[in-house]
């Protein structure tokens, strides 16, 4: 099958979160199954710098809002699938991140930047590369949300479009003024189209036009059809529930496995955990923490209210009770950053905070941790809890979205299958209760190592998810037996 992924992030070139990891690894897993998966993404400076010198220029010129994009096809350094790069320096050649300028503000022209990406994806879907007419165009998140709209309004024969919601909180809503620049017909600007609360909704467009929809866990697929989690899109999602599938993300164990991880001071595996202690010592050093008897809790996250790190800041005041420590790496909301900075400066030998984005340190943190905290208020899937398990750090998560689907709580009746700690209420007290339970298990090395060994042996590799996407592409629905569904 020829599968074209359209994405705004791709590990290892452009990453602000899990979307980058998934975009790279899913396509690679599909190629490993014998399919011709490729990717189209914007020509940010880091992407053009990684593009092979012998890249081919396609004849197609993609036009949006008076901007012209060229499409280059070639290999990208560090990426395991052929890529199409949309070269439009006026929209993409600038310092800063993929969405925000160097001072942290959204680029004022994000609508056009991602309409260009969506349009280029649609052009490719319609055969811009004569050698590669895709069978499926698979878009990710709001940034490629207009691609199914362009396709639906084209007169030409088009491939099937599948769209994945990685996070409903980011919807790409813009003022109606941009509509005339998008190159869509007048009648697309209505409720049965791209219109959303009087403006233009990129994600809404995908939810309306794509042939099939997926999101990144079964629980989140159910949650987003409710008013508590649907963020205004629950009605539309309920209307499309027959076309919506929840598929939990996988892990690229070529990148996230302590046996092969080049970022670790010393590699290790389930049979010899010496390297884990070395990583823990390195982490204490890096965060200026002293020695302690209790567990080392870590968190690596974008600091948004959804991630719940403000709960950690409030719960952390009680760390001394069980002589535990806390190390956090993250960047984002300035209020949460300030809370964490204050916490670290109040008790520096117990709490450390590195403000920023540091891929290498994120790996060492999973390795050095005893417990990885993911106290999210909402979490479509979450990757850090999956990484934690492979590194022998027990995840401590809130029961929501993909966290609920991937971590089994340590409790009397689950001791033979538990892999971490789960709490329910999004409150510092509930979080602290789970941290206490973790600290108490930590004092029982025999039980701790049992749970740890099980977590490390867990297999969240991409193959089964990659196969489930193939079913969605071929519209085969959920082919598993009832029993398999219950067990998954």
Contacts to ligand GLC by CB under 6 A: 17-19, 22, 166-167, 216, 249, 379-383, 402
| Beta-sheet pairing, 244-246 with 212-215 | parallel
Q: Report helix, strand or coil for 376.
A: coil
Nearest residue by C-beta to ligand ADP?
A: 18
Question: How is the beta sheet containing 296-303 ordered, strand by strand?
Answer: 351-355, 325-332, 296-303, 371-374, 394-398, 421-423
Region of 392 (left: φ > 0; alpha: ψ -120 to 50; beta: rest) is left
Told to check if 286 binds ligand ADP by CB under 6 A, we report no
Out of 115, 122, 213, 300, the only residue in the binding site for ligand ADP (CB under 6 A) is 300
331 binds, among ligand ADP, ligand GLC, none (CB under 5 to 8 A by kind): ligand ADP
Question: Whole-number minimum distance, CB 278 to ligand ADP, in Å?
Answer: 20
- Cα gap 122→134, rounded to integer Å: 10
Tokens matching residue 94: 């600038």
Q: Which does 199 bind (CB under 5 to 8 A by kind): ligand GLC, ligand ADP, none?
A: none
Residue 325: HSE in the Cβ half-sphere, 13 Å Cα cutoff: 24
- SS3 category, 45: helix
CA atoms within 13 A on the CB side of 70: 11
**CA separation for the pair 346, 160 (Å, rounded):** 55
Q: Which of 27, 275, 330, 368 binds ligand ADP (CB under 6 A)?
A: 330
Q: For residues 293 and 299, is the Cβ–Cβ distance under 8 A?
A: no
Q: How far apart are CA 88 and CA 33, in angstroms?
A: 33
Strands of the sheet with 199-201, listed across from one edge:
173-174, 199-201, 195-196
The least CB distance from residue 93 to ligand ADP, in Å, is: 25
Binder of ligand ADP out of 331, 427, 440, 458 (CB under 6 A)? 331
Nearer to ligand GLC, 145 or 380 (CB): 380
Among ligand GLC, ligand ADP, none, what binds residue 352 when CB lies within 5 to 8 Å by partner kind?
none
Per the rule left: phi > 0, alpha: psi between -120 and 50, beta: everything else, 161 is beta
Binding of residue 329 to ligand ADP (CB under 6 A): yes
Residue 216 site contact among ligand GLC, ligand ADP, none (CB < 5 to 8 Å, cut-off depends on kind): ligand GLC
Question: Cis before residue 320, ω within 30 degrees of 0?
Answer: no
What count of Cα atoms within 13 Å lies in the side-chain half-sphere of residue 135? Answer: 11
Whichever of 300 and 369 has its CB closer to ligand ADP, that residue is: 300
Nearer to ligand GLC, 249 or 452 (CB): 249
What is the smallest separation between the CB atom of 233 and ligand GLC, expressed in angstroms? 16
The answer to the question of residue 357 lying near ligand ADP (CB under 6 A) is yes
Tokens 């535990």, residue located: 324
Please report whether residue 362 would count as binding ligand ADP according to CB under 6 A. yes
Q: How far is CA 419 from CA 15, 390, 408, 450, in A?
A: 28, 11, 5, 9
Least distance in Å: CB of 354 to ligand ADP?
8
Binding segment (CB under 6 A) for ligand ADP, from list 18-26, 32-40, 185-193, 267-275: 18-26
The residue count for binding ligand ADP (CB under 6 A) is 18
Binds ligand ADP (CB under 6 A): choice among 63, 358, 471, 478:
358
Question: Least CB distance from residue 21 to ligand ADP, whole Å?
Answer: 5
Q: Check residue 383 for interaction with ligand ADP (CB under 6 A).
A: yes
By beta-carbon proximity to ligand ADP, the closer residue of 201 and 382 is: 382
Residues forming the site for ligand ADP (CB under 6 A)? 17-19, 21, 300-302, 329-331, 357-359, 362, 381-384
């Amino acid at each position: 099958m020829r599968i074209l992924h359209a994405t705004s992030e791709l590990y290892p070139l452009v990453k602000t979160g899990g979307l980058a990891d998934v975009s790279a690894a899913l396509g690679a897993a599909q190629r490993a199954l014998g399919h011709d998966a490729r990717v189209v993404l914007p020509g940010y400076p880091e992407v053009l710098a990684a593009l092979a010198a012998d890249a081919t220029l396609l004849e197609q010129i993609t036009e949006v809002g008076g901007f012209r994009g060229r499409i280059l096809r070639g290999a990208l350094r560090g990426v395991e699938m052929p890529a199409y790069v949309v070269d439009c320096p006026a929209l993409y050649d600038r310092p800063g991140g993929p969405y925000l300028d160097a001072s942290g503000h959204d680029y004022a022209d994000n609508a056009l930047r991602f309409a260009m990406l969506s349009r280029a994806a649609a052009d490719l879907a319609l055969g811009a590369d004569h050698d590669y007419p895709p069978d499926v165009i698979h878009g990710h998140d709001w940034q490629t949300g207009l691609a199914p709209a362009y396709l639906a309004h084209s007169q030409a024969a088009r491939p099937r479009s599948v769209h994945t919601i990685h996070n409903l909180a980011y919807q790409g809503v813009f003022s109606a003024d941009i509509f005339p620049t998008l190159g869509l017909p007048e009648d697309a600007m209505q409720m049965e189209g791209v219109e959303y609360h009087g403006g233009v909704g990129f994600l809404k467009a995908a939810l309306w036009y794509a042939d099939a929809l997926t999101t990144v866990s079964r629980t989140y697929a159910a949650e987003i059809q409710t008013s508590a989690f649907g963020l205004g899109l629950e009605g539309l999602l309920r209307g499309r529930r027959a076309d919506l599938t929840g598929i939990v993300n996988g892990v690229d164990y070529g990148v996230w496995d302590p046996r092969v991880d080049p970022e670790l001071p010393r590699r290790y595996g389930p049979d010899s955990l010496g390297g884990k202690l070395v990583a823990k010592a390195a982490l204490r050093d890096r965060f200026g923490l002293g020695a302690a008897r209790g567990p080392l809790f870590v968190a690596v996250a974008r600091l948004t209210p959804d991630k719940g790190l403000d709960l950690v800041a409030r719960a952390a005041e009680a760390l001394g009770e069980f002589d535990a420590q806390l190390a956090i790496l993250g960047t984002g909301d300035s209020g949460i950053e300030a809370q964490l900075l204050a916490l670290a400066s109040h008790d520096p030998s117990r709490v450390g905070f590195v403000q920023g984005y540091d891929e290498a340190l994120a790996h060492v943190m999973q390795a050095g941790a005893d417990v990885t905290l993911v106290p999210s208020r909402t979490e479509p899937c979450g990757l850090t809890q999956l990484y934690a398990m492979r590194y022998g750090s027990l995840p401590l998560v809130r029961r929501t979205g993909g966290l609920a689907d991937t971590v089994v709580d340590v409790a009397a009746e689950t001791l033979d299958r538990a892999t971490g700690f789960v709490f329910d209420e999004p409150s510092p007290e509930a979080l602290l209760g789970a941290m206490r339970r973790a600290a108490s298990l930590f004092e029982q090395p025999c039980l701790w190592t049992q749970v740890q060994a099980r977590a490390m042996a867990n297999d969240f590799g991409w193959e089964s998810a990659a196969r489930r996407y193939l079913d969605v592409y071929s519209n085969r629905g959920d082919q598993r037996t009832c029993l398999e569904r219950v067990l998954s």
